[in-house]
Structure 1
Amino acid sequence: MQDFDSRSRSLRDALYVGKSFDVLDRPVFFGGRRAVFTLIDGFVKDELFEKIMEFLYSLKEDDPCFESEEKFLARAVPYCEAALEPDLDKAVTAILSGQTALLIEGFSQFLLLDIRTYPQRDTAEPEKDKVFRGSHDGFVETMVLNCALIRRRIRSPHLRMEAFQIGTASQTDIVLCYLADRADETLLSKLRGKLQNARVDALTMNSESLAEILLPHKWYNPFPRFKYTERPDAAAAQVLEGDVVLLVDNSPAAMTLPTSIFDILEEANDYYFPPLTGSYLRLTRMLVLILMLLITPVWLLLNQNPAWLPDGLRFLLPSEAPAVPLIWQLLILELGIDGLKLATLNTPSMLTTSLSVIAGIVVGDFAVQSGWFSAEAMLYMAFVALGGFNQPSFELGYAIKFMRIGLLVLTASLNLWGFIGGLVLILVIVLSCKTFSGHSYLYPLVPFDGKLLKKKLFRPSIKNQR
């Protein structure tokens, strides 16, 4: 067994104490024995640390707690979150995660005290997932607090929070959250295997990195396989339905799986209104998604074949021959909308009004007056842009966008056959997309399950869910 000096020196060398200013070791003397605290500055609750130090200084040399590490832990540590750790590497990882290590002369094991605290923002409602009614709190970047927000809503002994660490360099904490009596055990076993066998250096992009590790897919299939939410009530509802939620440290977004396209289209507001209103909102969202995909390709197809339109629908065609071909107008506007979104993200809040004026008047009105774009093309693309904000998932919105652009190009190139071929290609891509559990992305539509499909399309009442 290594002596105290050798053990403390090994810990100092492993953490490069003295080379990093925030890695601290604090030598102390109590009960006639030497000891040293090792911690990361900024991760420790100062009040708790002072209380523990005060108690330890009161110990006498002949106190029975010094007979063994186990007795010391049971009788001399006035804190609930404490454990013994014999392995140096695991102790180093715990310290870097924010725990405080105490090494005492005569003991071979490290005493780990979880008196850590992380800098964090307030649990305010997330900007993306706002609701008219309901709770207005949200996940933050601190794992323990996010778990507590779910525990607060599900007071069941069957609720499990399994912890994993991924990344040889980052050692990122991952929590697998589920209800043991409702979750699919086959799915859980598959998830555990993926998490335990993940071999990466770091989760540099938090939830997105984990998603690519768990379910790698072809680059040409942009449809999202995971549902993300920053709302604790939404995550708790998914857990209660038997789904599995993954929480990643330093990320406020919870990942839900397995996920079909119907799950992604659901929103918290659907459940904070009566069933009729919630069903209307959900069906409207689905209809807008279909229109986002088809409205501009169908309009382009009709412009290429004006004889198909009856006299009462001739107003759909441009009143004047456009200076720029319609297909190029639509493609340029597709890029222009994303350019405005990026400009909004990078514009300080005090200048957003100026950006709106430039985008709405200069880019919009003057582009039509100059003859570059037709008013009809601007109108339909404005509908597409507004429809994108109706979708709770950014990933799904961009997946539809890529499908729409491909459909536009095929329609412009091959007319009706290009339009039909594009729809078939989109259907093939969607059908080839599988959830993490191996089900179809369109389940319960494909394969058909009428009872479950009704539940996905229409918001059920609480009475029907029992």
Structure 2
Amino acid sequence: MPDTRIVTASVKENVAYMNQVLPVKESFDLIERDIMIGEREASFFFIDGFMKDEIMLKVMDSFLKVRKEDMPASATGFARQCLPYVEVDTISDFDQVLRNLLSGTTCLFIDGYETCIVIDCRTYPARSVGEPEKDKSLRGSRDGFVETIVFNTALIRRRIRDPHLVMQMVEIGDSSRTDVALCYMSDRADEELLKNVKKRLQAIHTGDLRMNQQSLAEQLFKRKWFNPFPKFKFTERPDTAAACLLEGKVVILVDNSPSAMILPTSILDIIEEANDYYFPTLTQIYLKFSRGVITFLTVFLTPVFLLFMQNLEWLPDMFRFVALRDTVNISLVFQFLLLEMAIDGLRLAALNTPSMLSTPLSVIAGIVMGEFSVQSGWFNSEVMLYMAFVAVANYTQPNFELGYALKFMRLLLLILTALFNWIGFAAGCVIIICSICFNKTLSGRSYLNIKLN
């Protein structure tokens, strides 16, 4: 429950309450600093590591020059006349005081004032706004979102200098109190969608957002576990987020998360990448078409090959060369399934391999998985070829979650085709189409952008 206690005019009572609520004596980074301002007792509370020392030195130097007769009658007057800093506020509710203090601001109590003076001179540890590793562009800007939400909003403001750009800040999580920014263009965003998103954000009651943006996504929209297709589009590029805002979409930023959540979304939005915005129209069309064809092949290439190998009489004469010329000790479907797991194993190993060893280990893995696997009688060379194409083609689309959704659909097609032949293949295709068409997102629209009731 939020604290309803009010700040009193006695600095000793306020300090005693702050020490009662906060583990100031136990936590080395929670600091209390007592000083005299205009012959009155005063106390600072701040978190070490969040405060800008140079600014606070100048502020405290100005406080030491305040005389008794210069002290205003109220804290508001003191903030206006004696506090030479820009971001200053006065708060009388202890719940708001604690919330601001734990967010990194400096709280000042002065004897005789019934409000707390909040000085926002905080700074967060942050890395440079370098280009994201996953979502790179050939001709675009080289900056990207970081884990500090204020930096991320500034990157968007730098690109959209329009008074209609609104950024509303809310706090979610009783314990984490994570800052969440809702960004939209007031003259372009869909009012119904905006109202729906705001209502869902206000209705979230949770202790914390443990995994930041992913936890928020799960709270906003309860997904069905059996449909693996993503409900949201994420980007780590501020130029992509700005372009989506100008198209009338809504962007959600979460503190401690270096990516933006974009609403509404469709299958065409998810497979887009930053390069689509920077090239001429003809080049954009070609890139989108080729990416769509390759995405289609990643799902259907191996199941179709398995289907034709089970029904060789269906294979046209001009494609007879793709038929298997030799057989190995393992059936075709198990070869595909084993390689699917092996590719994921190599991917996970690459994530945890030190950079200095990644190249030699990749060469060793390629040799072992390639020539030796065929010679040992585990796999056919054709199977290795098609799975190599699928493994590389998965990286043509930028969305990691969509890649695994397509992988699950491919595995489903392989298993159904192996068990029920063409009937299973047809049933798998129907399941894939239904999974896409009826994948209802937060905006109330499916992946095909058809309004669902």
Does TM, scored on the shorter chain, surpass 0.5? yes
After superposition, what is the alpha-carbon deviation per residue over 1:180-212, rounded to whole angstroms, capped at 9, x for unaligned?
111112211211121112111111111111111
User: Is the aligned partner of 1:47 residue 2:47?
Assistant: no
Q: Which of 99, 109, 113 is 2:115 aligned to?
A: 109
The TM-score normalised by the length of structure 2 is 0.96
CA distance in 2, matches of 1:363, 1:441: 37
CA distance in 1, matches of 2:92, 2:37: 22
Cα distance, 1:217 vs structure 2: 1.1
CA distance in 2, matches of 1:56, 1:251: 37
Q: Which of 54, 58, 63 is 1:56 aligned to?
A: 63
User: Is the aligned partner of 1:242 residue 2:251?
Assistant: no
The range that moved more, 95-104 or 184-193, is 184-193
CA distance in 2, matches of 1:177, 1:310: 55
Residue in 1 that maps onto 2:5: none
User: Is the aligned partner of 1:134 residue 2:160?
Assistant: no
Residue in 2 that maps onto 1:352: 358
CA distance in 1, matches of 2:31, 2:297: 60
CA distance in 1, matches of 2:386, 2:162: 50
Q: Which of 95, 101, 104 is 1:98 aligned to?
A: 104
Residue in 2 that maps onto 1:227: 233
After superposition, what is the alpha-carbon deviation per residue over 1:42-87, rounded to whole angstroms, capped at 9, x for unaligned?
0001111111111111111111x52112211221221111111111
After superposition, what is the alpha-carbon deviation per residue over 1:204-253, rounded to whole angstroms, capped at 9, x for unaligned?
11111111111111101110111111101001111111100000000101
Q: Which of 202, 208, 211 is 1:202 aligned to?
A: 208
User: Is the aligned partner of 1:21 residue 2:28?
Assistant: yes
Cα distance, 1:312 vs structure 2: 2.1
Cα distance, 1:357 vs structure 2: 1.6
Residue in 1 that maps onto 2:156: 150
**Residue type at the aligned position of 1:237:** A
Cα distance, 1:262 vs structure 2: 0.5
Counterparts in 2 of 1:234-273, with a 5 A limit?
234-273=240-279
User: Is the aligned partner of 1:363 residue 2:369?
Assistant: yes
Cα distance, 1:30 vs structure 2: 1.5
Residue in 2 that maps onto 1:80: 86
User: Is the aligned partner of 1:377 residue 2:391?
Assistant: no
On the 8 A contact 2:89/2:119 being kept in 1, the answer is yes
After superposition, what is the alpha-carbon deviation per residue over 1:9-50, rounded to whole angstroms, capped at 9, x for unaligned?
111221211110100010010211110110000000111111
The residue matched to 2:377 in structure 1 has which SS?
coil
Residue in 2 that maps onto 1:415: 421
Cα distance, 1:322 vs structure 2: 2.4
Cα distance, 1:354 vs structure 2: 2.0
**Residue type at the aligned position of 1:332:** L
The residue matched to 1:200 in structure 2 has which SS?
coil
Residue in 2 that maps onto 1:37: 44
CA distance in 2, matches of 1:284, 1:205: 34
The TM-score normalised by the length of structure 1 is 0.94
The residue matched to 2:175 in structure 1 has which SS?
coil
The range that moved more, 315-324 or 371-380, is 315-324
The residue matched to 2:89 in structure 1 has which SS?
strand
CA distance in 1, matches of 2:126, 2:294: 37
On the 8 A contact 2:11/2:43 being kept in 1, the answer is no
Cα distance, 1:2 vs structure 2: 5.3
Cα distance, 1:104 vs structure 2: 0.5
CA distance in 1, matches of 2:225, 2:400: 17
- Gap runs ≥5 in structure 2: 1-7
User: Is the aligned partner of 1:292 residue 2:291?
Assistant: no
CA distance in 1, matches of 2:16, 2:59: 24
Residue in 2 that maps onto 1:429: 435
**Residue type at the aligned position of 2:13:** S
On the 8 A contact 2:131/2:144 being kept in 1, the answer is yes
Residue in 1 that maps onto 2:197: 191
User: Is the aligned partner of 1:302 residue 2:308?
Assistant: yes
User: Is the aligned partner of 1:3 residue 2:10?
Assistant: yes
**Residue type at the aligned position of 2:256:** N
**Residue type at the aligned position of 1:103:** F
User: Is the aligned partner of 1:217 residue 2:223?
Assistant: yes
CA distance in 1, matches of 2:260, 2:78: 39
The residue matched to 1:67 in structure 2 has which SS?
coil
The residue matched to 2:56 in structure 1 has which SS?
helix
Residue in 1 that maps onto 2:3: none
**Residue type at the aligned position of 2:334:** W
CA RMSD of aligned residues (A): 1.2
The residue matched to 1:72 in structure 2 has which SS?
helix
CA distance in 1, matches of 2:54, 2:83: 15
The residue matched to 1:160 in structure 2 has which SS?
strand
